[in-house]
C-alpha cells in the first residue's frame, strides 16, 4: 500500500491544535488583570476600590500615573494612583488595564517582535472598531468593551505562530515582502491554520465573549461575514464586519506589522470598507484619523515606558 503523506500544512495544523489542547500552552492573564475585569463589570465600583487593586500591580500603577500626567490629560501633577484614576475615569482605566494585561500576557511568549508596531496597530484597530460599531451596531453590546477588546486582540494569533513556528513564520514574512501579498493566505498553505483561527482559539481558552471570538476568527474574511449575515443585520456579524474594516483602515494609515498586504491610499477603495458601507448606519460616524494616530502614539509611549 502506498502511504499518502499529508501536506505540511495539515501536519502543522494538527500540531497547533495539540499545543492549544495542552493545559499550560497559553499564558494566562495576571491575577490583578482578572480581578480588575471582574470589578469593571460591577456598575458601582469606586475609584478607591480600583485603586487598591491597581496598587498591587506596580507596572499598571505606573502606567495610570504616566497616562494621567500625559498631554492627553493636560500634563498636570499627579500625586497618587487614586488621583490618577479620578483624572482618567473608569472607561479609560478599563482600557489601560486591558492593554496592559494583553501586552504582559503576550510578552510571555518571548518572541522577538517590534512591540511598539504590534501594539500601535492593535490599539488603532481597537479604537477604530469601537467608532465603527458605535455607527453601525443598533444595540451596543452590554459590557461596552467588546469592540475595543476584539480590536486589541485581533492579531494575537501571529504571536503564537511566531513563537511555535519561527522558521515558517519568517519565511512567510519574507515571501510577503517580496510578493506584496498578505500573509493570511500563506498561513493557510504553510501552517494549515491562519492567525485569525489561532487567535479565536486562544480567546476561547481565555473564555472571552463569543462576539469577540467570532470577530477575531473572521477579521480577514468580510465576504464570509457578509454571507453569514444573509441580510440580517445582527450585532455579532456587524461587529465582525467593523473589525475587518478597522483592521484594513489601520493598515492603510497607521503602523504596519510585517506581512500586512499593501493597501489602497484611500480606505474607501478597500473591499472591507465596501462591504461595511452596504450596511445601514444607525448613528453618525465621526472620528479624525490623524487625531486617533496621535492619541495611539501617546498611549503606546505611556504603555511601553512603564
Ligand atoms: Fe490579522
Ligand atoms: Fe491586523
List pLDDT tens digits, range 23-73.
Answer: 677 888 888 888 888 888 787 888 888 888 888 888 888 888 888 888 888
Ligand nearest to the CA of 221: 1
21 CA → ligand 2 middle, Å: 25
> What does the pLDDT average to over 224-236?
83
CA of 219 to the centre of ligand 1 (A): 6
Asked if the model's pLDDT at residue 198 lies above 90, the reply is yes
Mean confidence (pLDDT) of the chain: 85
Q: Read off the pLDDT of each residue in 194-213 and give the average, rounded to a whole number.
A: 93
CA 251–ligand 2 middle distance (angstroms): 7
Residues 201-210 have pLDDT tens digits of 999 998 888 9
Q: For residues 115 and 257, give the distance between their C-alpha atoms in angstroms, rounded to a whole number.
A: 10
Average pLDDT over residues 208-223: 94
* CA 117 to ligand 1 centroid distance, Å: 14
Q: What is the pLDDT of residues 247-265, one digit of tens each?
A: 999 988 887 766 666 566 6
Distance of CA 214 from the midpoint of ligand 1 (Å):
13
Q: Are 140 and 178 in contact (CB under 8 A)?
A: no
Helix axis angle, 156-164 to 90-107, nearest 10°? 10
Cα(54) to centroid(ligand 1), Å: 31
Q: What is the pLDDT of residue 4?
A: 43
What spacing in Å lies between the alpha carbon of 108 and ligand 1's midpoint?
20
> What's the pLDDT at 6?
45
What is the CA(16)–ligand 2 centre distance, in A? 20
Residue 142: what pLDDT? Answer: 46
Closest among 13, 295, 27, 31 to 156, alpha carbons compared: 27
Q: Please report which confidence band the pLDDT of residue 7 belongs to, taking 50, 70 and 90 as the band edges.
A: low
User: How far, in Å, from the CA of 154 to the mean position of ligand 1?
Assistant: 6
Domains, in order of start, for the chain: 14-108 (no CATH), 114-286 (1.10.3210.10)
For the chain, where are the alpha helices, taking DSSP H only?
8-21, 31-40, 47-54, 58-68, 81-88, 90-107, 115-136, 146-153, 156-164, 166-179, 183-190, 195-205, 210-217, 222-229, 235-253, 271-276, 289-305
Mean pLDDT of 69-87: 84
Task: Look at residue 232 and tell me whether its pLDDT is greater than 50.
Answer: yes
User: Tens digits of per-residue pLDDT, 115-163?
Assistant: 999 999 999 999 999 999 989 988 765 455 889 999 999 999 999 999 9
User: What does the DSSP assignment read for 272-284?
Assistant: HHHHHTTSPPSS-
Report pLDDT for 26: 84
C-alpha 78 – ligand 2 centre gap (Å): 35
Res 298 pLDDT > 50 = yes
**15 CA to middle of ligand 1, Å?**
21
Residue 70 CA, ligand 2 centroid: distance in Å: 27
pLDDT at 260: 65
Q: Residue 218 CA: which ligand is closest?
A: 1
For position 291, what pLDDT does the model report? 92
pTM given for the model:
0.88
For the chain, what percent of residues have pLDDT higher than 90? 28
Exposed, middle or buried, 142 (CB in 10 Å: 0-12/13-18/19+)?
exposed
CA of 301 to the centre of ligand 2 (A): 20
Grid coordinates given for 204: 476561547
Q: How many whole angstroms from 61 Cα to the centroid of ligand 1?
A: 30
Q: Kindly give, in sequence order, each residue whose CB lies less than 8 Å from that of residue 131, ignoring residues fewer than 6 positions away.
A: 246, 285, 286, 287
CA of 234 to the centre of ligand 1 (A): 23
Segment 71-81 mean pLDDT? 81
pLDDT digit string (tens) for 273-288? 888 988 888 888 888 8
CA of 195, nearest ligand number: 1
- How far apart are the C-alpha atoms of 105 and 156, rounded to whole Å? 10
Mark residue 231 as left, alpha or beta (left: phi above 0; alpha: psi -120 to 50; beta: remaining).
left
Q: What does the pLDDT read at residue 278?
A: 87
**Angle CA(240)–CA(137)–CA(223) in degrees, nearest 5?**
35
CA distances from 242 to 136, 147, 297 (A): 8, 9, 22
d(CA 172, CA 166): 10
Mean pLDDT value of segment 106-120: 90
Amino acid at each position: 500500500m502506498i502511504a499518502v503523506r499529508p501536506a505540511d500544512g495539515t501536519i502543522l495544523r494538527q500540531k497547533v491544535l495539540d499545543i492549544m489542547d495542552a493545559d499550560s500552552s497559553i499564558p494566562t492573564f495576571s491575577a490583578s488583570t482578572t480581578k480588575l475585569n471582574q470589578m469593571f463589570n460591577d456598575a458601582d465600583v469606586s475609584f478607591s476600590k480600583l485603586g487598591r487593586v491597581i496598587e498591587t500591580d506596580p507596572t499598571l500603577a505606573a502606567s495610570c500615573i504616566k497616562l494621567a500626567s500625559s498631554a492627553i490629560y493636560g500634563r498636570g501633577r499627579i500625586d497618587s494612583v487614586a488621583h490618577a484614576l479620578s483624572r482618567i475615569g473608569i472607561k479609560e482605566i478599563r482600557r489601560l488595564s486591558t492593554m496592559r494585561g494583553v501586552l504582559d500576557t503576550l510578552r510571555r511568549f518571548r518572541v522577538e517582535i517590534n512591540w511598539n508596531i504590534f501594539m500601535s496597530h492593535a490599539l488603532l484597530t481597537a479604537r477604530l472598531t469601537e467608532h465603527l460599531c458605535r455607527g453601525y451596531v443598533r444595540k451596543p453590546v452590554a459590557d461596552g468593551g467588546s469592540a475595543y477588546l476584539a480590536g486589541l486582540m485581533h492579531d494575537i494569533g501571529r504571536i503564537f505562530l511566531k513563537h511555535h513556528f519561527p522558521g515558517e513564520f519568517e519565511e512567510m514574512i519574507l515571501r510577503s515582502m517580496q510578493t506584496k501579498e498578505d500573509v493570511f493566505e500563506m498561513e493557510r498553505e504553510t501552517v494549515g491554520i491562519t492567525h485569525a483561527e489561532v487567535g479565536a482559539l486562544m480567546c476561547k481558552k481565555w473564555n472571552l465573549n463569543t462576539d469577540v471570538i467570532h470577530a477575531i476568527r473572521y477579521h480577514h474574511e468580510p465576504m464570509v461575514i457578509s454571507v453569514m449575515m444573509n441580510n440580517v443585520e445582527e450585532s455579532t456579524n456587524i461587529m465582525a464586519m467593523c473589525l475587518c474594516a478597522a483592521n484594513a483602515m489601520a493598515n492603510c494609515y497607521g503602523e504596519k506589522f510585517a506581512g500586512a498586504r499593501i493597501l489602497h491610499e484611500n480606505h474607501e477603495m478597500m473591499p472591507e470598507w465596501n462591504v461595511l458601507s452596504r450596511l445601514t448606519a444607525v448613528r453618525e460616524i465621526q472620528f479624525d484619523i490623524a487625531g486617533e494616530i496621535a492619541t495611539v502614539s501617546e498611549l503606546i509611549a505611556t504603555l511601553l515606558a512603564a
